[in-house]
Amino acid sequence: MHCVRKVTDDLYWIGGNDHRLALFENVHPIPEGVSYNSYLLLDEKTVLFDTADWDVCRQFLENLEYVLDGRPLDYIIVNHMEPDHAASLAEVTLRHPEAVLISTAKAFTMMGQFGFAMENKRETVKEKDTRCFGKHTVTFIMAPMVHWPEVMFTFDTTDGILFSADAFGTFGALDGRLFNDEVDFERDWLVPARRYYTNIVGKYGRQVQAVLKKAGGLDIRMICPLHGPVWRTDLGWFIDKHVKWATCTPEEKGVVIVYGSMYGNTEAAAQKLAALLCEKGMTNVRVYDVSETHVSYLIAEAFRFSHLVLASVTYNLGIFPPMKDFIHDMQALEFKGRTVGLVENGTWAIKSGALMKEELEKMKDMTILDGPVTVTSSVNDASAAGLEALAESLIASMGD
Ligand SMILES: Cc1cc2nc3c(=O)[nH]c(=O)nc-3n(C[C@H](O)[C@H](O)[C@H](O)COP(=O)(O)O)c2cc1C
Ligand SMILES: [Fe+2]
Ligand SMILES: [Fe+2]
């Protein structure tokens, strides 16, 4: 049975929701599920905007045939070739050999590499090219590395609709709701949206800023991303979030404390520090066990808050391995511009503080507060005083 939603009078959402996939990209947990959005325009010509992941292909094909209602499929615009959107392309083109593919030169190269849709006619487009499908004219905006090199956005100049590929997307199955004003986005979706952006697209902040600048000149009335809700109200609010994420600018004054502890003593230091911060009036504090919390959540929280504390045991003269992974991920995602406090622990040769500092100094615009606070096996009066001093300097560095 088909399951579609009307976006406008002549545009339909024909995608699917996946609650079974445990790990997005086989890396990031998605307990909230995910949607793969595909859109079909019924104009003088019929135009499909991207396809869907293999997981939802059956539903997607039923939706496509239902909305086409016997009409031929004239065009398929491929904004993004990643298989979570293009895996079903081969199935669609087998059913619709008449469909002309419109995409970038790079995307066509990738189609060849993946072996998708080799028989269909192809039209290569570049920046500012336009196509008219009847009432609707679209223009193409190249968006390389948002989030793969072949990506483009398509802008429907008739209705002001931006088909934004992975940009402005989020984890989370739609489950019937399609528009941002049908959900409480700030309450229920902002956390997955931040985790999606920072982990999936986060590395390409510069490219995202470049394309946001280009999009700034357009009269955008609606954003149709490839994952998550369609935006038709409060576009400025969501775009502003992306500007912050793309520039790695904190959204909130607050402290994320991430600890790595084997026997609970570094954990106790982290809890003590959190309590001291709250006692001194800074209550916007979060504490995470680096072994327990998937790194994608830690990355999102690091992007969100102004201050970060890393507390790690020494492990075979090194940083605790899961903490090392977290730091490595921050580096890989070009995380920058934070004030950081450090807590180290060890029992015979304490190294983790100096090693974490060395890694943090490789990131841009990091302010590392005096320290580290050294805990020798367990917190004693001296290290408790160190934690108190760290709490004070974290608060002092926040300004007013
Ligand atoms: C496998 C392993 C390796 C360790 N390597 C070191 C080390 O190289 N240097 C050191 O000072 N302590 C080392 N330790 C001690 C830990 O840092 C110790 O767990 C810590 O001092 C107590 O903190 P915790 O209760 O948070 O785990 C090691 C512990 C384990 C289990
Ligand atoms: Fe993607
Ligand atoms: Fe995607």
pLDDT tens digits for 252-283?
999 999 999 999 999 999 999 999 999 999 99
Check pLDDT > 90 for residue 315: yes
pLDDT of amino acid 396: 97
- The ligand that comes nearest to the alpha carbon of residue 320 is 1
Alpha-carbon distance 182 to 169, whole Å? Answer: 16
In a domain, 50, yes or no: yes
pLDDT of amino acid 11: 98
Same domain, 199 and 296: no
pLDDT tens digits for 142-193?
999 998 999 999 999 999 999 999 999 999 999 999 999 999 999 999 999 9
The string of DSSP letters for 59-99 reads HHHHHHHHHHTT----EEE-S--SHHHHTTHHHHHHH-TTP
Same domain, 240 and 262: no
List residues bridging with 122 in a β-sheet. Answer: 101
In a domain, 400, yes or no: no
pLDDT of amino acid 215: 85
Report the nearest atom of ligand 1 relative to the CA of 267: 26
Same domain, 80 and 148: yes
Report the nearest atom of ligand 1 relative to the CA of 348: 11
Alpha-carbon distance 284 to 274, whole Å? Answer: 10
Q: Is 259 in the pocket of ligand 1 (CB under 6 A)?
A: no
Which of 257, 310, 314 is the pocket-test mutation for ligand 1 (most atoms within 8 Å of CB)?
A: 314
pLDDT of amino acid 311: 98
Q: For the chain, what is the radius of gyration of the CA atoms?
A: 24
The pLDDT of 24-28, averaged and rounded, is 96
Main-chain phi, psi angles of 231, to 5 degrees: -95, 120
Check pLDDT > 90 for residue 201: no
In a domain, 112, yes or no: yes
Same domain, 235 and 108: yes
In a domain, 132, yes or no: yes
Residues 185, 160, 101, CA angle at the centre, nearest 5°?
Answer: 100
In a domain, 349, yes or no: yes
Whether the bond between 372 and the residue before it is cis, its omega within 30 degrees of 0, is: yes
Q: Is 312 in the pocket of ligand 1 (CB under 6 A)?
A: no
Report the nearest atom of ligand 1 relative to the CA of 318: 8
Q: Is 313 in the pocket of ligand 1 (CB under 6 A)?
A: yes
Q: Is 262 in the pocket of ligand 1 (CB under 6 A)?
A: yes
The domain in which residue 115 lies consists of 5-246
- The ligand that comes nearest to the alpha carbon of residue 311 is 1
Same domain, 148 and 51: yes
Report the nearest atom of ligand 1 relative to the CA of 259: 26
pLDDT tens digits for 356-381?
999 999 999 999 999 999 999 999 99
Residue 207 near residue 145 (C-beta atoms within 8 A): yes
Residue nearest to atom 9 of ligand 1 (CA): 349
Last residue of a domain, one of 246, 280, 297: 246
Please identify every residue whose CB atom is under 5 Å from ligand 3, which is an ion. 84, 166
Residues 296, 297, 303, CA angle at the centre, nearest 5°?
Answer: 90
Alpha-carbon distance 390 to 397, whole Å? Answer: 10
Q: Is the dihedral of CA 172, 176, 180, 185 positive or negative?
A: negative
84: CA distance to ligand 3 center in Å? 6
- The two beta strands, 161-163 and 305-315, are unpaired
Q: Report how many domains make up the chain.
A: 2
Residue 127: CATH number of its domain: 3.60.15.10
26: CA distance to ligand 3 center in Å? 13
Report the nearest atom of ligand 1 relative to the CA of 262: 27
Same domain, 269 and 351: yes
Same domain, 202 and 328: no
Which of 258, 261, 262 is the pocket-test mutation for ligand 1 (most atoms within 8 Å of CB)?
A: 262
Same domain, 75 and 141: yes
The pLDDT of 126-154, averaged and rounded, is 96
For 126-177, where are the E strands, in sequence order? 130-132, 137-142, 152-156, 161-163
Residue 353: CATH number of its domain: 3.40.50.360
pLDDT of amino acid 200: 92
Mean pLDDT score of the chain: 96
Which one has a higher pLDDT value, 117 or 52? 52
Check pLDDT > 90 for residue 117: no
The pLDDT of 235-249, averaged and rounded, is 94
The pLDDT of 383-399, averaged and rounded, is 97
Same domain, 143 and 262: no
Q: How confident is the model at residue 399 (pLDDT cuts 50, 70, 90)?
A: confident
Q: Is 346 in the pocket of ligand 1 (CB under 6 A)?
A: yes
Residues in contact with 230: Cβ distance below 8 Å, sequence separation at least 6, in sequence order: 7, 13, 37, 178, 179, 180, 222, 223, 224
Q: How confident is the model at residue 202 (pLDDT cuts 50, 70, 90)?
A: confident
Same domain, 37 and 166: yes
Residues in contact with 218: Cβ distance below 8 Å, sequence separation at least 6, in sequence order: 155, 160, 162
Same domain, 224 and 317: no
Last residue of a domain, one of 220, 246, 272: 246
In a domain, 265, yes or no: yes
Same domain, 232 and 264: no
In a domain, 344, yes or no: yes
Last residue of a domain, one of 246, 263, 283: 246
pLDDT tens digits for 318-332?
999 999 999 999 999
In a domain, 48, yes or no: yes
Report the nearest atom of ligand 1 relative to the CA of 350: 11
The pLDDT of 328-337, averaged and rounded, is 96
